[in-house]
């Protein structure tokens, strides 16, 4: 066990013995509660001989934030005036106009390319 692992192992032992929640135990300490919980999970994972996933969990998340507004807001005609209403999706400052029947797979690729998935 490394010096860092030993230090965190001792902190985790003290935390568990205290019966306090992580936030209560970490208050006033030179580390955050989230770090304490992460080390508890990490040391347990290492003790069980499990490897960490090759990609961070964040990589699996969907679009963090997308703003969807009616096309008519940007000057398109409304339904019944010769053109069907669609959507404009804004990702990373780029507006993408979509009409009914758009290719969802292609949209996903474009959003990923724009950095919408993290």
Structural domain boundaries of the chain? Answer: 3-52, 59-113
Taking alpha carbons only, the member of 103, 73, 98 closest to residue 88 is 98
**Do the Cβ atoms of 40 and 12 come closer than 8 Å?**
yes
- Output the pLDDT for position 13: 96
**Do the Cβ atoms of 8 and 39 come closer than 8 Å?**
yes
Along the 118 residues of the chain, how does pLDDT read in single tens digits?
899 999 999 999 999 999 999 999 999 999 999 999 999 999 999 888 877 766 555 555 565 666 666 655 455 544 445 455 677 878 777 888 888 888 888 888 887 887 765 4
Q: Is the dihedral of CA 68, 115, 64, 50 positive or negative?
A: positive
Give the DSSP letter of residue 76: P
């Amino acid at each position: 066990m490394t010096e860092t692992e030993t230090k965190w192992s001792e902190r985790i032992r003290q935390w568990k013995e205290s019966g306090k929640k992580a936030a209560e135990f970490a208050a006033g300490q030179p580390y955050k509660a989230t770090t304490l919980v992460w080390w508890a999970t990490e040391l347990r994972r290492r003790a069980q001989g499990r490897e960490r996933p090759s990609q961070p969990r964040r990589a699996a998340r969907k679009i963090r934030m997308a703003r969807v507004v009616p096309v008519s807001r940007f000057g398109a005609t409304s339904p019944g005036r010769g053109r069907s209403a669609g959507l404009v999706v804004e990702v990373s400052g780029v507006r993408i106009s979509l009409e009914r029947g758009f290719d969802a797979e292609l949209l996903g690729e474009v959003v990923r390319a724009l950095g919408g998935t993290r």
